[in-house]
C-alpha cells in the first residue's frame, strides 16, 4: 500500500517506487491500509441439500492507470468474488491516482486516498455512489480507520516538498482535522486493534522530484494525546505495514532492503530482518496471527510475483506461491481461507487458496489495479476486511 512507489515488476527493491516513469507517484497501500486487519465473515446460508455457504464477498479495487496513463487513473471497481464468480461491476469515479483504500467496520463505506488529488473520497458501498472529496495533505498515500469507525488517519507523503504528517478525518462530519507530525515521506499506516496507536512507515525521499534521504524508520503515534514516541529503526524505504490480530507484533516491509522487520509493539524493539525473495509490497496476517503473508514482486521470480508465507514464531519462510507480475495489493477473505492480490503488472485480480497453496484463475481487471479491500455482504453488521497496499510510487 500506498507514497513513494515502484514500477510494477521491477527487478530491484526499488522497482515499486519507479512505477511511474513520468515521475508521478504510485501508491501501495495498506492495503492499506490495507492488509492487516481481521474481519468477521457474517452469517452463512443453508438449504436442505447444500452445505453452509460463505457470505457474498466483494473486492473493491482501485485503478491507477496503465501504460502511458499510469498515475492518471480515477476508478474504484467492485468485483463479486462469491464462490469465485469474479464479476466486475460498473466503475465508480474517485480522485486521481487512488493509492489506498479502507472500509469502515460496518462494511458500508469505503474511503479512497487520492494521491494525485490530495483528497480522500468517501464511497457509499450500498448505492455505489462517491461523495464529496475531503481535502487532506499533499500526496495521501495510506489510510486506516479506527475500530469504532469514527476516525480515519491518512498519511501525507507529499512530493516536493516531501510530506511529514498524518491527517485525522472525522468520518461522521467528513471533516479533516489538524495534521500530526511524523517522519519524512510517510506512506503505510496501520492502527493497533484498540485504535489507540498508529504506526507510520517513513519511506522518505523515494520519488522523482523529492529531496532528502530515503527513510528507515517507523513513527509510533499515541492517538489519544497526538504525541509521538521515539522512532523505530527498520530497513531501507519502509512502505507497507501489518499488525497481528492481538496487536503484539508489527511487520514492516522494507522495499529497498528486500526484507520484513518484525517489531514487538510492547517494547518497540525491532527484531532481525526476514529476507524476502524480492520486493515486499503488502502484508496480511492470518486470523490466528501465526502466519503472515507477504506479496513480493521481482523480475527474477518465475511469475514476476509471489505470495510468501512467514511463520511468525520462527521467522521462517514457507513455500512461496507464484502469482502474478507486481502484486501491489493483498487482502485475506473474511473466513481466512483465501488470499486475494491486485496484480498491477498483470492487470488482474488473483486468488490463492491458503490451504492448498495454489493460485486460482486470474480475473482480468484492466486499468492498473493497485489497492484493494474486501467486504462481506449483505449482512448489515458485517465487517470489512481491508488491506492497505503497497505505498504509492511517483
Q: Which of 247-251, 257-261, 379-383 has the lowest mean pLDDT?
A: 379-383
Q: What's the domain range around 112?
A: 56-386
Confidence check: pLDDT of 240 > 70: yes
Give domain status of residue 287, yes or no: yes
DSSP state of 88: E
> How far are the Cα atoms of 95, 134, 244, 266, 304 from residue 10, in angstroms, in the given order?
26, 33, 29, 36, 9
pLDDT at 124 > cutoff 70: yes
Q: Which of 143, 103, 92 is nearest to 119 (CA)?
A: 143
Average pLDDT over residues 302-325: 97
Query: Is 54 a residue whose pLDDT tops 70?
Result: no
For position 150, what pLDDT does the model report? 98
- Please tell me the total count of domains within the chain: 1
Over residues 269-298, the mean pLDDT reads: 97
Question: Which of 236, 370, 355 minimizes the C-alpha distance to 291?
Answer: 355
Kindly state the average pLDDT of the residues 276-293: 97
Mention every residue, 6+ apart, whose C-beta is less than 8 A from residue 127: none
Residue 7 belongs to a domain: no
Span 138-172, pLDDT tens digits: 999 999 999 999 999 999 999 888 999 999 999 99
Give me the pLDDT at residue 212, please: 81
Side-chain half-sphere of 266: how many Cα atoms within 13 Å?
2
Q: Read off the pLDDT band of 331 (50, 70, 90).
A: very high
Number of Cα atoms under 13 Å in the Cβ half of residue 171:
26
Residue (of 106, 193, 118) closest to 150 by Cα position: 106
Comparison of pLDDT for 16 and 332, the residue scoring more: 332
What is the predicted pLDDT for the residue at 162? Answer: 93
Omega of the bond leading into 161 within 30 degrees of 0 (cis): yes
> What is the per-residue pLDDT for 316?
98
- Decide if pLDDT at 394 tops 70: no
Residue 23 pLDDT > 90:
no
Integer Cα distance of 88 and 287 in angstroms: 27
The pLDDT mean for the chain works out to 84
Burial class (CB in 10 A: 0-12, 13-18, 19+), 132: exposed
- 3-state class (DSSP) for residue 67: helix
Residue 29 pLDDT > 90, yes or no? no
In contact, 24 and 391? CB cutoff 8 Å: no
How many CB atoms are located within 10 Å of the residue 323 CB? 30
- What is the DSSP annotation of 120-140? EEEEETTTTEE-PPEE-SSSE
Cβ(140)–Cβ(125) below 8 Å: no
- Residue 346 forms part of a structural domain: yes
In this prediction, residues 16-28 reach a mean pLDDT of 36
For residue 30, what pLDDT band results from cuts at 50, 70 and 90?
A: very low
Q: Which three cell numbers stand for residue 81?
A: 468474488
Residue 55's pLDDT is what?
62
Which residue's entry shows cell 510510487? 393
- C-alpha span between 123 and 58 (Å, rounded): 14
Q: How far apart are the first and last CA of the chain?
A: 13
In percent, the amount of the chain with pLDDT more than 70 equals 80
Q: Quick one: pLDDT band at residue 83, thresholds 50, 70, 90?
A: low
Distance CA 43, CA 23 (A): 46
Per residue in 341-366, pLDDT (tens digit) is 999 999 999 999 999 999 998 999 99
> Is residue 200 a part of any domain in this protein?
yes
Let me know if residue 19 belongs to a domain: no
The sign one gets for the Cα dihedral 210, 212, 215, 221 is: negative
At 100, list the grid cell: 489506498
Task: Read off the C-alpha cell for 145.
Answer: 480507520
DSSP code of 196? S
Residue 7 clears pLDDT 50, i.e. is over it: no
Q: Which helix (H) or strand (E) holds 58?
A: strand 56-63
Neighbouring CB atoms inside 10 A of 321's CB total: 22
47-61, 227-241, 273-287, 371-385: least confident range: 47-61
In a domain? residue 41: no
Closest residue by Cα to residue 1 from 390, 342, 329: 390
* Averaged pLDDT, 299-325: 96
* 13 C-beta neighbours (distance < 10 Å), count: 23
Using the structure block, give the residue that is written with the C-alpha cell 474486501.
374
- Residue 128: Cβ-neighbour burial (10 angstroms; 0-12, 13-18, 19+): middle
Which residues make Cβ contacts (< 8 Å) with residue 173, sequence separation at least 6?
Answer: none
Instruction: Say if 33 falls within a structural domain.
Output: no
For 82, counting Cβ atoms within 10 Å of its Cβ (0-12 exposed, 13-18 middle, 19+ buried), the class is: middle
pLDDT at 104 over 80: yes
Q: Span 205-212, mean pLDDT?
A: 78
Let me know if residue 27 belongs to a domain. Answer: no
Task: Say if residue 337's pLDDT is above 60.
Answer: yes
Higher pLDDT, 4 or 230: 230
Q: What is the arithmetic mean of pLDDT over 163-185?
A: 97
pLDDT at 100: 98
Name which residue leads in pLDDT, 22 or 220: 220
Query: Which residues have a Cβ under 8 Å from the Cβ of 85 and sit 6 or more positions away?
Result: none
Of 54-58, 101-105, 262-266, the range with the lowest mean pLDDT is 54-58
Q: Does position 371 have pLDDT exceeding 80, yes or no? A: yes
Mean pLDDT of 308-332: 97
| CATH classification at residue 279 | 2.130.10.10
Mean pLDDT value of segment 276-291: 97
On whether the pTM is more than 0.95, the answer is no
Burial 151-176 (b: 16+ CB within 10 A, else e): bbbbbbbbbeebbbbbbbbebeeeeb
Query: Which positions ≥6 away from 162 have C-beta within 8 Å?
Result: 184, 185, 204, 205, 210, 211, 212
Give the Cα separation of 127 and 147 in Å (integer): 23
Q: Does the pLDDT of residue 296 top 80, yes or no?
A: yes
Amino acid at each position: 500500500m500506498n507514497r513513494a512507489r515502484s514500477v510494477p515488476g521491477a527487478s530491484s527493491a526499488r522497482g515499486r517506487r519507479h512505477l511511474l516513469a513520468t515521475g508521478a507517484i504510485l501508491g501501495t497501500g495498506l492495503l492499506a491500509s490495507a492488509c492487516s486487519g481481521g474481519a468477521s465473515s457474517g452469517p452463512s446460508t443453508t438449504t436442505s441439500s447444500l452445505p453452509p455457504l460463505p457470505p457474498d464477498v466483494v473486492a473493491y479495487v482501485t485503478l491507477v492507470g496503465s501504460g502511458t496513463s499510469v498515475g492518471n487513473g480515477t476508478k474504484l471497481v467492485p468485483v463479486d468474488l462469491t464462490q469465485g464468480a469474479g464479476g466486475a461491476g460498473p466503475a465508480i469515479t474517485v480522485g486521481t491516482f487512488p493509492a489506498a483504500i479502507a472500509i469502515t467496520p460496518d462494511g458500508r463505506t469505503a474511503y479512497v486516498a487520492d494521491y494525485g488529488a490530495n483528497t480522500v473520497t468517501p464511497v457509499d458501498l450500498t448505492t455505489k455512489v462517491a461523495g464529496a472529496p475531503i481535502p487532506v495533505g499533499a500526496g495521501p498515500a495510506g489510510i486506516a480507520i479506527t475500530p469504532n469507525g469514527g476516525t480515519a488517519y491518512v498519511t501525507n507523503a507529499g512530493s516536493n516538498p516531501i510530506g511529514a504528517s498524518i491527517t485525522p478525518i472525522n468520518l461522521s462530519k467528513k471533516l479533516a482535522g489538524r495534521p500530526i507530525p511524523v517522519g519524512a515521506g510517510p506512506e503505510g499506516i496501520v492502527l493497533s486493534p484498540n485504535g489507540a496507536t498508529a504506526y507510520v512507515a517513513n519511506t522518505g525521499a523515494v520519488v522523482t522530484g523529492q529531496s532528502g534521504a530515503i527513510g528507515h524508520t517507523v513513527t509510533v503515534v499515541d492517538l489519544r494525546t497526538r504525541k509521538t514516541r521515539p522512532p523505530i529503526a527498520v530497513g531501507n524505504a519502509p512502505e507497507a505495514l501489518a499488525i497481528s490480530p492481538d496487536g503484539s507484533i508489527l511487520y514492516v516491509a522494507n522495499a529497498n532492503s528486500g526484507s520484513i522487520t518484525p517489531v514487538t509493539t510492547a517494547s518497540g524493539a525491532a527484531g532481525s530482518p526476514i529476507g524476502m525473495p524480492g520486493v515486499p509490497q503488502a502484508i496480511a496476517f492470518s486470523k490466528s496471527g501465526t502466519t503472515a503473508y507477504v506479496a513480493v514482486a521481482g523480475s527474477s521470480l518465475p511469475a514476476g510475483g509471489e505470495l510468501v508465507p512467514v511463520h511468525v514464531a520462527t521467522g521462517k519462510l514457507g513455500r512461496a506461491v507464484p502469482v502474478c507480475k507486481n502484486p501491489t495489493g493483498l487482502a485475506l477473505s473474511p473466513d481466512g481461507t483465501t488470499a486475494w492480490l491486485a496484480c498491477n503488472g498483470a492487470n488482474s485480480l488473483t486468488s490463492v487458496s491458503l490451504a492448498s497453496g495454489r493460485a486460482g484463475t486470474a480475473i482480468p481487471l484492466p486499468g492498473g489495479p493497485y489497492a484493494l479491500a474486501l467486504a462481506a455482504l449483505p449482512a448489515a453488521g458485517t465487517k470489512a476486511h481491508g488491506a492497505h497496499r503497497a505505498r504509492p510510487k511517483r
